[in-house]
Chain A
Amino acid sequence: MKIALTGNPNSGKTTLFNLYTGSNQYVGNWAGVTVEKKEGAFSYNGQTITLVDLPGIYSLSPYSMEEIITRNVLINERPDVLIDVVDGSNIERNLYLAVQLMELSVPMVLAVNMMDELEARGDKLDCGKLSRLLGVPVVPITARKAQNTELLLDTAVELARTSSYNPRRPVGQIQYDNTTSRVIREIYALLWEQPKLRGLPLWFYASKLLEGDQQAIQALQPDKKMLNKIEALVKSYEATSFYGDRETMLADARYKAITDIVAKSMVKRGGENSLTLSDKIDLVVTNRVLALPIFLLMMFLTFAATFGPVGDFLSEGIEHLLKNVLGGWVTARLDAAQAPGWTYGLLVDAVIGGVGGVLTFLPQIMILFTCLSLLEDSGYMARAAFIMDKLLHKIGLTGKSFIPMLMGFGCTTPAVMAARTMENERDRRLTIMITPFMSCGARLPIYALFAGTFFASHQGLVVFSMYLIGMVVAILSGLILKNTLFRGKVAPFVMELPPYRLPSLDALGRHVWEKCKGFLIKAGTLIFSMSVVIWLLQNFSWSLQLVEDNAQSIFASIGKAVAPVFAPLGFGNWQAAVSILAGLVAKETVVTSMMVLYGAASQAELAAILPTVFTNLSAFSFMVFCLLYMPCMSAFVSIRREMNSLKWALGTALFSTAVAYIVSLLLYQIGKIFLL
């Protein structure tokens, strides 16, 4: 049996989903989009139930990815029964989705959640009456305390047993005003005349056609004659109201019907303008004067926790464990087995080093996602977006983009993952594309070496300029992308500010684990194979001979081949080119591979060699290139994962490399004119 969970964001759907499915869940993406897909299976009274957690939405409009996915799943995959979770403390707006879902003709149970909050406020809801008025079973629950959740499941299973999808009738009975009811009935009758459309949820499509929904027109492909008849009906409908607009009129009719039902089944005690605890917290948190300092403090705490001493300590712990303990053990085993020399390189350096280098991010990812979950679940994230929106709106982003971009200064990999907190796909993609320009910690060794060698007297200033250039490029890229690739796809910023709630530890743990699991799987598969491939390239010649000197390797010959490409940027020597390629593994590798390639035993020696190959200008140009070119492979892997598309990930890599090339080229060529 297949049950689908629907509901508004923050209605407690996910709590319910976790409660039923336990650890047995699959989390991924819907095909081709960045919207999260959650499914779980469990056994109930001897039968297997598949539970699908659909994205949190407010309506079934055709304008957001989340809403379209929900529509498609409910129409095409047609679950046996639908549980619509509504927040009892905010029932009017939650029922607006419910009445649209009822038109899909899939048997539905209404779960009124957060009954504890509702009762604590002194409101009373008569669920029996609500059920009679809507014509669907209503179960009052408190998902967080697991109250009545068994009863809800019983009700859903029983409903699936006794009723099934019947496109001839919508579920329940919603009475709109006479004009609206009549026009929906008439459109339905027109659709029903077409035998090929029978079987589809025509009540749903009738109301969508009344709204002028393009997705619905595409799905039904009505002929010209029918379309004209429908448009004539809509015209006469619009003429009955002075608003004269189909979408507003139908939304109005729906809300009127809902207000009526709520008035009959609910007794509200609290006065409209009395302040709840949440309102009081908000008075401080989004206060005109205090809001920005509090926001900066929150961001500082998140950043400091993730990239500060604790995260560092744990990262180093993992590094030690892998490199010294595991690496040492493997070396000892290889010694004992008298294995050939190259096996050390492959196993210890490439595999343990490569995968291990990525695993050291794990503690930081854990801490970051603990912080992000706390911010999200408590309701603060919405306030952060509220506070920062004006600033980021200018470059085509929203308030929530601030967090991934800030995290980008620490490490691009978790920063990209943090973009998940944005609801809108366009915002998510745009943010992911510009986050790599924020200079991450791994690029610092490059700046330190070059700034120290070439700009000893202005070292701090030069390093700071790198961070500044990164930010400026990010902002300019945002502006450019906003007006090109993402033009015309601006998502409305109409955001609910949910009440502050105490985050639940269970949800927190689950969220953090999900993120880490996804990351571990990638580290274990993709990064593992990439490490091996790069090791092979670095240690074998074209004739597949193991090389003594890296300068003979395939990697070096590729470096030599591409070196001329970098000549206009000021660093056309092959060692620089190979170092840049090596930086794809991890950006700090740029420095270590330079040491190998220039035959320097230490950084000091390298610092003595570099001035013979670079000028001040070409050194600066090289630093800028390292700052901007495509992020390292672990960042690439997480971009691929979050974008849910290899095409977008490659596009992002190509975009940043192109930007790097252009900026360095301009710097070097214009710089040359001024310095000569």
Chain B
Amino acid sequence: MANISRTAPTTTLGDLRPGQSCIIVAIGGQGAIKRRLVDMGLTPGCRVFLRKTAPLGDPLEIHLRGYELSLRRADAKNIIVKKV
């Protein structure tokens, strides 16, 4: 797992372009949605590849831990990441 410095420039998963990869820094938000995201393996340090967006622009398709996951851009904006 990559070591993330607290001061590294960060962005959110929702602001990434298809084809970019990133490492998760923190998960914001709360309640059911946040819990679901961490349960699905979106935890700090995890490497995520943004594969594509749906034809209408939302939701996103990401690749992590060897599988494909779909989530809405609004929720992806709560995930702080560092580009790699």
Contact = CB atoms under 8 A, between A and B. Distances in A.
B27 A248 contact: yes
B68 A389 contact: no
Given A90-B67, A242-B6, A243-B26, A494 B54 contact: no
B9 interface: no
A390 B58 contact: yes
Contacts of B34: 247-248
A492 B32 contact: yes
B59 A252 contact: no
A255 B33 CA distance: 18
A390 B57 contact: yes
Contacts of B32: 61, 63-64, 491-492
B27 A494 contact: no
Given A93-B41, A495-B69, A495-B70, A255 B75 contact: no
Nearest to B55: A291
Given A61-B39, A492-B32, A497 B68 contact: yes
A291 B35 contact: no
B31 to A, nearest CB: 8
Q: Contact size class for A?
A: 35 or more
Contacts of A385: 70
A386 B32 CA distance: 20
Contact of A93 (B40, B54, B61): B40
A210 to B, nearest CB: 13
B17 interface: no
B55 A292 contact: yes
A313 interface: no
A603 B68 CA distance: 57
A90 B72 CA distance: 22
A286 B55 contact: yes
Q: Which of B61, B70, B72 has the largest count of A CB atoms less than 10 A from its CB?
A: B70
Contact of A496 (B37, B38, B54, B67): B67
Contacts of A386: 54, 59, 61, 70
Nearest to A61: B35
Contacts of B61: 286, 386, 497
A318 to B, nearest CB: 40
Nearest to B53: A288
B11 interface: no
Contacts of B27: 243, 248
A612 to B, nearest CB: 51
A393 B40 CA distance: 21
Interface string A276-315: 0000001000111101100000000000000000000000
Given A242-B6, A291-B55, A292-B55, A496 B45 contact: no
A58 B57 contact: no
Given A390-B56, A497-B69, A248 B38 contact: yes
Contacts of A243: 26-27, 44
B66 A89 contact: yes
A218 interface: no
Interface in B19-54: 26-27, 31-41, 43-46, 49, 52, 54
Contacts of B26: 243, 248
Nearest to B25: A243
Nearest to B72: A493
Given A286-B54, A389-B54, A492 B69 contact: no
B66 A494 contact: no
A59 interface: yes
Nearest to A492: B33
Interface string A487-531: 000011111111100000000000000000000000000000000
Contacts of A391: 56
A334 B26 CA distance: 78
A361 interface: no
B56 to A, nearest CB: 4
A494 B69 contact: yes
Nearest to B68: A497
Contact of A247 (B6, B35, B57): B35
Contacts of A393: 58, 72
Contacts of B39: 58-59, 61, 96, 251
A61 B40 CA distance: 11
Contacts of B6: 242
Contacts of B44: 243, 248, 252
Given A389-B59, A390-B59, A92 B54 contact: no
Given A63-B36, A491-B32, A494-B33, A389 B72 contact: yes
A494 B57 contact: no
A346 interface: no
Contacts of B67: 90, 93, 496
Q: Which of B32, B39, B40, B68 has the largest count of A CB atoms less than 10 A from its CB?
A: B39
Given A90-B66, A255-B43, A63 B56 contact: no
A610 interface: no
A385 B38 CA distance: 22
A127 interface: no
A386 B55 CA distance: 9
A247 B72 contact: no
Contacts of B66: 89-93
A273 B69 CA distance: 15
Interface in A89-105: 89-93, 96
Contacts of B45: 252
A326 interface: no
A496 B41 CA distance: 12
B43 A492 contact: no
Contacts of A272: 49
A387 interface: yes
B41 A61 contact: no
A273 B68 CA distance: 12
A413 to B, nearest CB: 31
A493 B71 contact: yes
B21 to A, nearest CB: 9
Contacts of B38: 247-248, 251-252
19 contacts: A61-B35, A61-B36, A64-B32, A93-B67, A248-B43, A251-B38, A255-B43, A256-B1, A272-B49, A282-B68, A286-B54, A288-B52, A385-B70, A386-B70, A387-B54, A389-B54, A493-B59, A494-B70, A494-B71
Given A63-B36, A389-B54, 18 more contacts: A58-B39, A92-B41, A92-B65, A92-B66, A93-B40, A248-B26, A248-B38, A252-B38, A286-B52, A390-B57, A393-B72, A493-B71, A493-B75, A494-B69, A495-B70, A496-B40, A496-B69, A497-B69
